[in-house]
Amino acid sequence: MARPVVVIGAGAVGAASALAALKDGHQVTILDPAEPGGEQAASYGNGCWLSPMSVIPPAVPGIWKKLPKYLSDPLGPLAIRWRYLPRVAPWLIRYLASGWRWEDVAKAAQALRPLVQDAPRLHQALAEQAGVGHLIERRGLMYIYPSRADFEAERKAWDIRHQVGVRWIELDADELRQREPELDRRYGFGVFVDEGGHCTDPGAYVAALIALAEAEGAKLIRQHATGFRIEAGRLKAVITRQGEVACDAAVISAGVHSKPLARAAGDDVPLESERGYHAEISDPEVAPRHGLMPSDGKMSIMRTARGLRCAGQVEIAGIEAAPNWQRAEILKNHLLSCFPGLPRDIPAERIKVWLGHRPSMPDGMPCLGPSRASADVIHAFGHGHTGLVASARTGEVVAALLAGRAPSIPIASFDSRRFGAFF
């Protein structure tokens, strides 16, 4: 049965959800006050990875031991601003608890794997439908280490990846050099995951998906959603700052701005912004052949449509705090150290820096499923580091829920009520 559906948010998840709903014959309205795929969007400046092996949540056993360092080092790979600590403390407690045991990490990986599995193929199909198939490349992804010993230090996480179906090829120094001749020679071991892929311009990709949705009948309204009119458990309208948009189903896919909307739908969820940065060098003198993630930099490196991008960092400081561009400088410097062929004196006009907000739940899993106040309101947010890669499958799940079908993957682990009344 066709339904009037409002999708709140024109990011990667919202775009995929809108297209999947249109495919089922629904009447779709997309609400977002900003430009789809614009610089304000989390997908615009991310690491570009379409990684089916992104199943390990951010918190793992022993991370609590590093908390004092996170608080004392404002430029570390994970930093928490002191002023924000009282506000984020409940989220942080849940974050640490979620990765207290390897058994919990393995359970999360088991839940996340179906959400990201086969993602490059799914995204390629969407991109081709939108006329931008060239933006998706399926040539594998690579993790690089100074030595095999550094890889073995992360063995537990890789064992869990193997348990859920991820396969890889191990590369010694010579094999790594053959695949990435421009890479600094301090890297002597690599892991190549053939099923990985990437998007060369995530912002343009999301914009193209929204344009496709409009071409197929969706209506894009530049408005800010503020809540819902729900009567006797049934959705009647989405409330915006300019009035109501009548509908009988809605999807909350507003990224880091989803928390107040979830609360309006009956769910007080612990959603937080993981602030991430990137630095991108235009017209790079050298570049990798694959997407890379150096273990000593904890960042992604990717050749994009605009240049050579390094993206990463996690900063817990809320949405409103001013950027700390030193964090982007750290990324740039590490990128230069990875590729000796890049000049050390790159002019400032060739370097673009960016800050975005990953919408993150403390356990590393999204909220995906019906809301407490009404089954007509579907949660689809909080994907954290997996927003882009998981968006295609998330859209399929959303469409199933809208149609009353059983989703093709298990989603019980993503229920927004898993946090109880702690928040």
**Helical axes 12-23 vs 202-215, angle rounded to 10°:** 30
CB 33 within 8 A of CB 226: no
**pLDDT single digits (tens) 143-202:** 999 999 999 999 999 999 999 999 999 999 999 999 999 999 999 999 999 999 999 999
Q: What are phi and psi of 265, to 5 degrees?
A: -100, 15
Query: Is a pLDDT exceeding 60 seen at residue 404?
Result: yes
End-to-end CA distance of the chain: 36
CB 166 within 8 A of CB 193: yes
Give the confidence band of 52 by pLDDT, cuts at 50, 70, 90: very high
Q: How far apart are CA 105 and CA 348, in angstroms?
A: 41
Kindly give, in sequence order, each residue whose CB lies less than 8 Å from that of residue 153, ignoring residues fewer than 6 positions away. Answer: none
**pLDDT single digits (tens) 190-224:** 999 999 999 999 999 999 999 999 999 999 999 99
pLDDT (mean) for 19-34? 98
Query: Is a pLDDT exceeding 60 seen at residue 423?
Result: no
Res 419: pLDDT: 87
CB atoms within 10 A of CB 241: 9
**In the chain, where are the structural domains located?**
4-61+105-419
Percent of the residues in the chain that have a pLDDT greater than 90, as a whole number? 93
Query: Is a pLDDT exceeding 60 seen at residue 62?
Result: yes
Average confidence score pLDDT of the chain: 95
The amino acid present at 335, given as its one-letter code, is: L
Res 421: pLDDT: 55
Give the confidence band of 388 by pLDDT, cuts at 50, 70, 90: very high
Give the confidence band of 307 by pLDDT, cuts at 50, 70, 90: very high
Which of 359, 272, 249 has the alpha carbon at shortest distance from 13? 359
Res 331: pLDDT: 95
- The larger pLDDT score, comparing residue 297 to residue 211, is at 211
Q: How far apart are CA 118 and CA 122, in angstroms?
A: 7
Which of 124, 118, 2, 13 has the alpha carbon at shortest distance from 398? 13
pLDDT (mean) for 230-241? 97
Res 24: pLDDT: 97
Q: Which CATH architecture has domain 4-61+105-419?
A: 3-Layer(bba) Sandwich (3.50)
CB atoms within 10 A of CB 247: 23
Res 422: pLDDT: 46
Beta strands in 212-287, from DSSP E residues, in sequence order: 219-221, 225-231, 234-240, 243-246, 249-252, 272-281
**pLDDT single digits (tens) 83-136:** 999 999 999 999 999 999 999 999 999 999 999 999 999 999 999 999 999 999
**pLDDT single digits (tens) 63-90:** 888 778 777 777 878 889 999 999 999 9
Which run of H or of E encompasses 316? strand 308-316
